[in-house]
Structure 1
Amino acid sequence: MIRPLLIEYASSHLELLIALDQQTDTLLYEHGERSSDSADYRNRLSASLNKQLFIWVSEDQDGFHGHLAVLPCQLNRNRHKASVVIGLLPEYQNMGIGGKLMDTAVAWSKLQGLHRLELTVMTHNEPAIALYKKKKFSLEGTVRHSLLVNGEWVDEYIMGRLL
């Protein structure tokens, strides 16, 4: 099931984010880098949710296993676009959930009148790149040595989609 994140589930969302940090090396946060202070996370989320940040979660009877956030730009010159961030626990990958999350975000973005979505992805993350291409994102450039992951420099692709 995919649904919008409600503030009353902030603690569960934070648990998902921490699990993603622990189980993946393809997202921005390293294990242990994210604060586990549930009250602080709830306050920060409450200040931005449905104003500057829109999040959908995927869940089943065991709880949250993925999420997608859309962060619309706020200035006159760039408010036509938004950044997309997606994360899915490894055991739930390759099941079509990421595609459904992306479809939800694209449909919502069109309803909001957005013109462009963009994201970054590590160049070695071939499954994610395949998903983004399937969802009509185009490769627009490479940022060399963008991240330092496990002591190694990692490049990122910039990908975008016009709606």
Structure 2
Amino acid sequence: MNIRHIRLEDAEQFTHLLVSIDSSNMMLFDPGERKTSIEQEEQRIEKILLQSNSTIIVSEEEDRLVGYVMVLGGTTTRNQHSARIVTGVVEEHRGKGVAEKMLKEAFRWAKEVGVTRLGLTMIKHNEKAYKLYKKLGFEVEGERVHSLMVNGKPINELYLYKLLS
């Protein structure tokens, strides 16, 4: 498994990766809801790579992207030290340490570029993700009650953060 930062030429594979991970029912998008194109993802990757406090870290196995951690840094003077993260791993690679390795690279990279706070939201009942984030030092910051509707049922989201020193 190779952990690295995304490149523009990854746009097609990254697009397929996003759509595949959406089918987990643990992401913001419902399965099949994401409407994006390779060109749109290429533009997004390009924009992210131009921001000094943003990146996408990917996990690659046998020339196939199997996971990502998107680090989206703040764009104003007051919040450029802070970044939101989004993590996704394809189903057949979950539970194998892929997310942990990508997150550790995100921590290393963030410190290097001056990001000192990482935040994320997650579906409350995603126990595996919660255990991983707690293990890696994230703390619960709050809970949004009934903030999402999944399969017609209200779901709570947790807000987590990690301070990097």
Calculate the TM-score normalised by the size of structure 2.
0.93
**How many angstroms does 1:56 deviate by?**
0.9
CA–CA distance in 1 between the matches of 2:45 and 2:21? Answer: 18
Name 1:47's counterpart in structure 2. Answer: 47
Name 2:153's counterpart in structure 1. Answer: 152
Summarize deviations over 1:17-58 as a string: whole Å, max 9, x none.
011112x01111112221242223222332333426310110
CA–CA distance in 2 between the matches of 1:139 and 1:40? Answer: 33
Name 1:35's counterpart in structure 2. Answer: 35
Summarize deviations over 1:94-114 as a string: whole Å, max 9, x none.
111111011000011111111
Name 1:72's counterpart in structure 2. Answer: 73
Summarize deviations over 1:62-103 as a string: whole Å, max 9, x none.
611100010010111111110010000111111111110110
Unpaired segments ≥5 residues, structure 2: none
Identity %: 36
1:6-25 equivalent positions in 2, closer than 5 A = 6-22=7-23, 24-25=24-25
Q: What is the aligned length? A: 162
**How many angstroms does 1:148 deviate by?**
0.8
CA–CA distance in 1 between the matches of 2:48 and 2:96? Answer: 30
CA–CA distance in 1 between the matches of 2:63 and 2:6? Answer: 16
1:123 equivalent to 2:88? Answer no
Q: Secondary structure in 2 aligned to 1:78?
A: coil
CA–CA distance in 1 between the matches of 2:34 and 2:99? Answer: 23
CA–CA distance in 1 between the matches of 2:48 and 2:108? Answer: 21
Q: Secondary structure in 1 aligned to 2:145?
A: strand
RMSD of aligned Cα (Å): 1.3
Greater shift, 130-139 or 72-81, is seen at 72-81
Residue type of the partner of 1:38?
I
Calculate the TM-score normalised by the size of structure 1.
0.94
Q: Secondary structure in 2 aligned to 1:117?
A: strand
